[in-house]
Each structure stands twice: as C-alpha cells, then as structure tokens.
Structure 1
Amino acid sequence: MLRMDADAGTRSCVVAFPEGWERAVTGNQPAGEEMVLLSGGLTMSGHAVAVGEALIVEPRATRAATSTTGATAAVVWFSGPGGGWADGEADDAGTVTVLGLADGELRAPGAGLVGSLLGRDAVAGEVFDTDVEVLWPQARRWAFVPAGAPVPEVDGFAVVHTY
C-alpha cells in the first residue's frame, strides 16, 4: 500500500503479479482501477497493456480472461469501495481502455474515477493546487505531494494522478 484515503474511497498500491498469473473467471467490481505497468504485461477482457501504457478500468467494467506475461509489476490507483467482486457482467458495466503514456492529459475526470491522470515529460518543482500522486515509471519512484508543495526533483517522464 502506498496511500489510502478512506474518506475519499481511494487507494494506491504497488501490485506484483507472479509470472504466469491468471484469473479465468468473468466478473466485475465496484471500484475503478487505473494501472501503470512497471514490468511485464497484462491482458484483461481482450485488452493488452504493456510497459509504457496505462490500463483504465471504470467501475463495474467486465473483467474476463485476465493474465500476465512475465513477472508483472504495476502501480494501481483504485477509486471506490474495495472488494465486492460479482460474477458475470454488470448491467451498468464501465469500459476498459488502454492508453499510451505521453506528455499531455491521459484521462480527464469522470467515469466514476477520482481526479485525472496527466502525462508530463517533466514535473520536478511544479506546484499543484490540489493533492497529487506522482509516478516516474522509468525511475520507479512515487511521491504523494500535498496541494501547494513542490514536486520532488526527479528527472524524466511522470504520471500525475490528481485528486
């Protein structure tokens, strides 16, 4: 666990999947999930995500035929309640999307996901007017930065999760 805010219903964690991990069942859960791979690869519901990409899973999206390629590690942001797995597809299922990590906005606010994701070529020293979490995938560094505080001096591309 990297960070948890029970009031906001958010959690951030590093997930390490063992090589060859799979979940063959089909189901859904109430939390949204945003994942940036640090190593390996993952496939969920026919969507393959690799290092250099983000997997965006809206609340109640169908999760089927989920598996990893190689030893897979990811930073994952959850929005909404934990647990609550339900077998099958939800009547109000969200979507699953794979996005490339590039400078500019990755995911705008909405779809039951807290805040937004921003891809930035450089973010060191910036000050945001809201709390953010910053992930530098290549450096494998993560930081929680309170509103009004400067982002740590880490070089390279960063993914900024706003709240």
Structure 2
Amino acid sequence: MASRSAAVLASGTANAAKLFVAALAFTSAYIGFSAYSAADGAPPAVKTITLSARETPVAEELAPAARPGEVTLGGPADTCSGPLVARSVLLSPEPGRSVHYGWKLARWSPATKSWRTYLVDYDGFVGAEQTVEWRPEISGDPGWYRVELSAKGVRTVTSDRFRVSC
C-alpha cells in the first residue's frame, strides 16, 4: 500500500511541476513581448486639449437687492419664459431660534374679488437675519398675481401685483 501512495504522490508532484513550468514560460513570453513592443514603437501621440469657460450672469442680476419688510420681484421680463425671482430679508424676532416662513403666490379672482392661493412653499433658518429667495414658475395661467411672505412673529409682507399674459 505504501508503494501505491508513493506513485500517486509522485505523479501529482510531476503534474504540479509541469503546470509551474508552463506558467513561468507564458509569463516570460508576455513580459518579453511587452518589452519588445515598448522599445520598438514610438512614444504614443500626445493630444492637447484646451478648456475654456464663459462667464454667465447669475440670479443676482435677475432680482433687485432685498430689504427687510419688502418683497422684491425680478426675473425675465416675460414670466412665461422662466421663473419669477422673489426676495426679501427676514429679521428674526428671537435671534438664535429657528424661524419658519412661508411663501405664497396668490392670483386675483375676479369672481370673488379676492386673492386666492396659487402656489405655496415653506422653509426656515436659524439666526438673526437671512436673505430669502423663492423661484415659483407660473405655467400659462394669465391673470394678476402677487407674492406674499409670512413668518411667525413677523408681519406678512406682500409684493406689488404683476400681470401674466401667456
């Protein structure tokens, strides 16, 4: 029985040695071919890419400067081609505590002769004061509109009315 185990062990060792020699030969051929192509060929062509940037105006130019107690409106002359930009400055009645505020886009209703809520958005901040901005989009509903800004502990501020005709 000892001779049969020795024969199996010898044949396994011989197969492992053959695999090792084959792997070594393949690796040597690959390294030799890589070195030959690197030494023989010209260096790869270098492509130069020039990047350029163009300055585009930001929303700062779309709305006038914001002031406390006022809602200023800006944006494209035609509110149908882009968002309206509403801005204001909120002063916190209790600095250091959070201030929650809400924007409202109101539309004039000739039937009820009152301002009806069209869009709303809510946000907040912590601090003594914050410049706040809202960009509502009016999607093809002609009429008279205004923007209202309200916060707890601060009076509601209303913008001038404006007409949308698309």
Q: TM-score range by the shorter chain?
A: under 0.3
| Larger Cα-atom Rg | 2
What TM-score does the superposition give when structure 1 sets the normalisation length? Answer: 0.26
Higher strand share: 1
What TM-score does the superposition give when structure 2 sets the normalisation length? Answer: 0.25
Q: Which has the higher contact order (CA 8 A, sep 6+)?
A: 1
